[in-house]
Structure 1
């Protein structure tokens, strides 16, 4: 595997062309397929079961999709001038792709500057998810500061996650189990591009610190509606965040079960998800079957776009050494 992430990876970087530029209408692909909802009532929305994504590595519907859909529902009930600045979610039960999900919106408060919404997602008559979200109108203030973006090479210097997996398929030491995992992952064809800066640690080929940097963007143009960009960003924010906590164990531990418990996002500055953003994440603690992961999302110009926090169930067992 080190050979695959050494000479071959460098050669691939040198010969790669701009073929990985946006190549799809994301508003048609992501919003329709992943985030679109049917309106049943001014305050009730439905996600058809056909549009729910159940990753092959998970027992449940992808949590980021539920967060994104809940935000779509909440955004549908506020004025055009109000944009989400924070959301706080709890996952109560795992979603199932055999039933549609209903989103019930409570219009908690409408103010001149701030508005609040509460969303409850139900499936088969049971609550599976709740979200509190707060919206505000634009406000100009001279006072401003932020942390500095990590120093890292640009996205053009790294390979897409799918490119790395395709290269791995050609390695001699790939097992049948790993080959099946890779093929199923590639078959999902998600409309996202992810470029980890440290592939060996990202894929747990080696152990590393519970810190992660990856470039991420949507694979397509989704227009200029800021609310759509925020909803897609909420969907994307759940990718790989909890996995940061697995890196210290690396190849020495097998993950038996992993799922989100809660998820929080603070939106700081406008951004476009169809442009490259750096997702910085770290995990300050893992133990007792849980892990806490924190993240920051940066625009390429160094502007802090979002902050993210998530706690999840993480159950690992040591692999026996032969």
Structure 2
């Protein structure tokens, strides 16, 4: 009986691409593109970039921060080439950069910082504290036992088994209906799906299933519905209508099995959004939502088990100028803070056609 393998290990497999130059790698398998997105799921590109860099870093270093920029939409019809560059390698810290390119164009760029693994020296004097998850949310606990199965009725529409996502997410209903957008907190439990390891699989995994594999999987989780927090705290519609949604629906051939599945997925998204907005009014429909930058600060890296339930809290302290800022904290089921994330993106509402018409 083999070990259970993170789905991210299999789907984020990569290989050297020497024909593109030294320290260049390519993805082996197409990455996931959500049906509602202009390009690939950003979390997949972040996670594969981190996996590639971690493979290039000397042993003894462990990631502590990753700062990313999404430059162009990436598509799954073309390979992604990851160009890794060592910026600095010191005795205790190091910095590497990675550019993801398609057709010669940079679509994603990240700077990744590493530090010597100090787990063996925790007895030294040091300052130490962490934020705790809200007691009322924590008291309810994870949606299932650690290895218990999850019913699709529990999981969010974006993470159900037929959506193509490698993770499960169970979003918790809002309790602070009267809270302002700036003080609203949204919660979900998330974990990466696993499969039985197949030793006959010839794909190169991004790791040996150890700490680095779980850190890459955590990076995958970190982008799930992240910038969408800004629209959700305002109860702005994203899947209930709007020109972008209607355009996608018109492009689907409902006579095919895939087309029927796509339309059903849209129906699930719309129903979920309707329930989410049930206790308030919508200011309008989102016409465009694109991530610009994404930062992850990893804490207690050796504690990360991405295949176990993680509690994710998200808030949006500011929105304006057609952009939104989101903060996110991630705890293990035992209450250990393992990540703090920050994301900024374009959040543009669809405008009324009459708004810009001349009055004369």
Q: TM-score, normalised by structure 2?
A: 0.69
Change (3 A) 1:164 1:215: closer
Task: Please list the CA deviations of residues 92-115 of structure 1 after superposition, one character each: whole Å capped at 9, or x if unmatched.
Answer: 111111111110000112222212
Q: How does 1:75-94 map to 2 (within 5 A)?
A: 75-94=54-73
* Partners of 2:286 and 2:347 within 8 A in 1: yes
**Which residue among 125, 131, 143 is the counterpart of 1:147?**
131
* Partners of 1:210 and 1:245 within 8 A in 2: no
Q: How does 1:108-127 map to 2 (within 5 A)?
A: 108-127=87-106
SS in 2 for 1:51: coil
Quote the residue 2:231 is aligned against. Answer: 246
SS in 2 for 1:121: strand
Where do 5+ consecutive residues of structure 1 fail to align? Answer: 1-23, 167-181
Q: TM-score, normalised by structure 1?
A: 0.77
Q: What is the Cα deviation at residue 193 of structure 1?
A: 1.4
* Partners of 2:323 and 2:347 within 8 A in 1: yes
Q: Name whichever of 35-44 and 99-108 sits farther off.
A: 35-44
State whether structure 2 residue 163 is matched by structure 1 residue 188.
yes
Change (3 A) 1:161 1:112: farther
Distance in 1 (CA, whole Å) between partners of 2:151 and 2:314 is 17
Distance in 1 (CA, whole Å) between partners of 2:159 and 2:167 is 16
Distance in 2 (CA, whole Å) between partners of 1:197 and 1:255 is 22
* Partners of 2:311 and 2:330 within 8 A in 1: yes
SS in 1 for 2:56: coil
SS in 1 for 2:229: helix
Distance in 1 (CA, whole Å) between partners of 2:158 and 2:191 is 22
Q: What is the Cα deviation at residue 200 of structure 1?
A: 9.5
Change (3 A) 1:142 1:122: same
Distance in 2 (CA, whole Å) between partners of 1:165 and 1:132 is 33
Quote the residue 2:40 is aligned against. Answer: 61
User: Which has the higher Rg, Structure 1 or Structure 2?
Assistant: 2
Where do 5+ consecutive residues of structure 2 fail to align? Answer: 198-207, 236-276, 354-360
The number of residue pairs the alignment matches comes to 276
Q: What is the Cα deviation at residue 156 of structure 1?
A: 2.6
Change (3 A) 1:132 1:160: same
SS in 1 for 2:39: coil
Q: Please, what is the CA RMSD of the aligned residues?
A: 3.1
Change (3 A) 1:215 1:183: closer
